[in-house]
Each structure stands twice: as structure tokens, then as C-alpha cells.
């Protein structure tokens, strides 16, 4: 059997396979709440065979959202909606994970298809962004940001803890901290965004203090059985930014504070990146495997692992979890497709029993079930030859 479909256990949680639906912002929430869309979104992919499923980054405060349409769990009234999603995921055989985050200096935006630009603090749907230093993202012309005081940093850590408590109440069995993609955690780690001179800036240990204290705050309020993981912007891909050498050292510190798995990604703390591997297949795999070798933690990674053979090779190389974002949006049954591509003996065992029974017990023409398999040679239709056999005057006219 392909290693991609082997179970994975972390703490008391066992995943049915190594395939993770990565957090992807959907811009579908009203006041941070989940609704029928989120139940459909999560349930379809759980039924499609994903082992671990994230909805999107879930904001720990109202100003931690990217837009006013992003999900949050900063209020008790938001628990019920997200509980509906964890219930359907569990019913379909998956495990629900939540990524707790704060967008920091990248917040107060409009949706990307509306331009993705930031709104001023006095706009009805805008707010003043907060960050480790008063350094806006994007440089000159960007909206100013507020530099967090030490007391405000402690309030953010408390917000992480309070949201984690709600997450457990909502049925989440896995908690990830979002320290990547230019958001608040990534900003504290990066010298590009963090120019503080106090205990939260300067040295690597100081720049990682925000992260270790947030981990401590969350670990202290959640059951020990729940894995605590994080996505780190491990490389800013810029000479003035965070490096992989620093990331390895920082993750070693986080391991001492209860970190169970490292999910490796890019910093995205500046649009001016050099030598980016974002367009390369398995672009961040080597960085993740380095963390596993040198820190001794399980690792996951995303970025261009949507070709099943590449995902399988990554797991065989030592990767513990494959995170898929766009592939999960494009194909809710990606795990079933991957199983077929990799020669799994029974791909339809990956879906719920009622789905699987109908898909395995065909009545009629097997290739016509909507999940194509190579047809026998006698059934392959040569469309070019068939078209050539039709007299020209009988062919349908194609008009613009």
C-alpha cells in the first residue's frame, strides 16, 4: 500500500491517512460564524477521504481577521456554528483541526477578487492593524500600524488561550498556531517586520518569545491528549529576513514548550522575495525534512504536493503529513483519485461505507460511474476517426 494512506498517530489522535486539507480562507463568514457553507465545505472533503481537515485560519480577536468576512472564534456565540462542522467531519471519518491566528499587519483588507487592498482604520469595514513594530506591510503608502505594547502582547496570548478553550468546546481535536504568511506570528519572527528593542525583538530567542509564550498559554488550557502544532514562516526568502538556520533553532525552542509537530511554510513578510520555490513541485519539502532531522519533531508541509506521485515520494522521504490547499478545493475526492493513481487495491474504501458500497458494487457499465478508469481497448472510441466518417454536410456547425 502507498505510504500516503498509512495511519498517523500524534498524542491520542490517529488519522486514517497522511492527507491534510490545509487551511484556506473562504471569505464566507458573517461576524466570524460558520454556516451551511462551512458544513458543506468541510463535510464534502471529509467524505472524500481527507484524514485531517482545517477550515481556514480562525481569528482569535475581531482585528485578527483578514476581512470582515473571515472566520473567528473569539466569542462564545461562534462555537455552535463551528461545532456543526466538526460534527460532520467526525461523522465522515475525519479529524477536525483548527488553526488559530491573528492577521496582524495584513488585516483590514477586502477580498482578493475585489483587489485585496487594505482599508483605512476609519472605513466601516476597516480597523487599525497591530504588529510587533510600526512597520506597515508593503512599504511606503501602506496604512500605518500600531506597535503592540508588552501588555497588549499578553492580551493576545490570553486571546489564544481563550480561543483554544472554545475550540475544544466546538469539537476540535487538533490545534495549530499560525506563525506564517506575514501574519502576527510571522511578523514577530522576522527581522523585516520586528524592529523591537525589548524582550520581544532583536535576538532569535527574543523574536521567538512571542511564539513560545503563546504555546505555553494554549498548552496550559487544553487537554494533554490534543496535539499542539504550528505553521511557521521558516524562510523569508530575503537576505534581511528570517532564515532556515534560525527556524531550526526556533523550532527547537518551541519543542521545549510543548510543540508536537512543525508545519513548514514561507514567511511572506515582504513582497520582495528572492529565489522563491513557490512554483516548484514539492518546493518546501527539503526545508521540512531538515527540521525533522535536526529537531526530531514530526513535520508537515504544503506547496505543490498535489500530484499524487509527489505526495507519495514526500512521505517515503520522511514527511509525516501532506498539506493540500488548492488541490482540496479543486477535487473534494483528491484522496480517492490519488489512491487510484498510486495503485491502491481498493480506493473506494477511503470514502464512507454507504458511498463505498455503491461505488464498488456496480450495476451496469463500470466506467460510467463518474470516476473514469482506463476502458478496454475495444471500448475506446477514436473521436477523430469517428468525425472523419461523418459526411461533411452532416457535421454540426460550430459558431462563435
Residue 248 near residue 299, CB atoms below 8 Å: no
**Known catalytic residue at 183:** yes
Contact (Cβ atoms closer than 8 angstroms) between residue 271 and residue 238: no
Whole-angstrom distance, CA of residue 7 vs CA of residue 136 = 43
**3-state DSSP call for residue 18?**
coil
Placement of cell 506575514 in the chain: 182
Burial of 13 (0-12, 13-18, 19+ CB in 10 A): middle
Question: What are the angstrom distances between the C-alpha of 212 and each of 152, 153, 201, 229, 230?
Answer: 16, 12, 14, 12, 11
Helix (H, G, I), strand (E, B) or coil at 92: coil
For 183, other C-beta atoms within 10 Å of its C-beta total 28
Give me the half-sphere count of Cα atoms (radius 13 Å) on the Cβ side of residue 89. Answer: 31
Burial class (CB in 10 A: 0-12, 13-18, 19+), 369: middle
Catalytic residue among 160, 183, 200, 355: 183
Using CA atoms, how far apart are residues 17 and 308, in angstroms rounded to an integer?
13
Residue 352: count of CB within 10 angstroms of its CB = 15
End-to-end CA distance of the chain: 49
**Which residues face 323 on adjacent strands?**
20
SS (H, E, C) 228-297: EEEEEEEECCCCCCCCHHHHHHHHHHHHCCCCCEEEEEECCCCCCCCCCCCCCCCCCHHHHHHHHHHHCC
Q: Which residues are known catalytic residues?
A: 183
Amino acid at each position: 500500500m502507498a505510504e500516503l494512506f498509512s495511519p498517523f498517530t500524534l498524542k491520542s489522535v490517529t488519522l486514517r491517512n497522511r492527507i491534510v486539507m490545509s487551511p484556506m480562507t473562504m471569505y464566507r463568514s458573517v461576524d466570524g460564524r460558520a454556516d451551511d457553507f462551512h458544513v458543506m465545505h468541510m463535510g464534502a472533503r471529509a467524505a472524500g477521504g481527507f484524514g485531517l481537515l482545517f477550515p481556514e485560519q480562525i481569528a482569535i480577536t475581531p482585528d485578527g481577521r483578514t476581512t470582515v468576512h473571515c472566520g473567528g472564534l473569539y466569542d462564545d456565540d461562534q462555537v455552535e456554528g463551528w461545532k456543526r462542522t466538526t460534527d460532520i467531519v467526525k461523522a465522515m471519518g475525519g479529524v477536525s483541526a483548527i488553526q488559530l491566528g491573528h492577521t496582524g499587519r495584513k488585516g483590514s483588507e477586502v477580498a482578493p477578487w475585489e483587489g485585496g487592498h487594505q482599508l483605512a482604520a476609519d472605513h466601516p469595514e476597516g480597523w487599525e492593524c497591530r504588529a510587533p513594530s510600526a512597520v506597515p506591510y508593503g512599504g511606503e503608502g501602506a496604512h500605518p500600524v500600531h506597535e503592540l505594547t508588552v501588555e497588549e502582547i499578553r492580551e493576545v496570548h490570553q486571546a489564544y488561550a481563550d480561543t483554544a478553550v472554545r475550540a475544544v468546546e466546538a469539537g476540535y481535536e487538533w490545534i495549530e498556531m499560525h506563525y506564517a504568511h506575514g501574519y502576527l506570528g510571522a511578523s514577530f519572527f522576522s527581522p523585516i517586520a520586528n524592529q523591537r528593542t525589548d524582550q520581544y525583538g532583536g535576538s532569535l530567542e527574543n523574536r521567538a518569545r512571542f511564539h513560545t509564550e503563546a504555546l505555553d498559554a494554549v498548552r496550559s488550557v487544553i487537554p494533554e491528549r490534543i496535539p499542539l502544532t504550528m505553521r511557521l514562516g521558516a524562510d523569508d526568502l530575503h537576505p534581511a529576513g528570517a532564515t532556515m538556520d534560525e527556524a531550526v533553532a526556533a523550532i527547537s525552542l518551541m519543542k521545549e514548550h510543548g510543540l508536537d509537530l512543525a508545519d513548514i511554510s514561507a514567511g511572506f513578510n515582504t513582497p520582495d522575495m528572492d529565489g522563491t520555490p513557490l512554483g516548484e513541485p514539492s518546493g518546501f519539502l527539503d526545508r521540512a525534512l531538515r527540521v525533522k532531522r535536526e529537531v526530531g519533531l514530526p513535520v508537515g508541509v504544503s506547496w505543490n504536493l498535489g500530484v499524487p506521485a509527489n505526495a507519495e515520494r514526500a512521505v517515503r522521504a520522511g514527511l509525516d503529513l501532506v498539506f493540500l490547499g488548492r488541490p482540496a478545493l479543486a477535487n473534494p475526492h483528491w484522496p480517492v483519485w490519488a489512491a487510484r493513481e498510486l495503485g491502491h487495491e481498493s480506493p473506494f474504501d477511503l470514502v464512507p461505507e454507504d458511498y463505498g458500497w455503491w461505488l464498488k458494487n456496480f450495476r451496469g457499465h463500470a466506467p460510467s460511474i463518474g470516476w473514469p478508469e482506463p476502458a478496454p481497448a475495444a471500448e475506446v472510441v477514436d473521436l477523430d476517426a469517428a468525425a472523419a466518417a461523418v459526411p461533411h454536410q452532416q457535421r454540426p456547425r460550430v459558431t462563435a
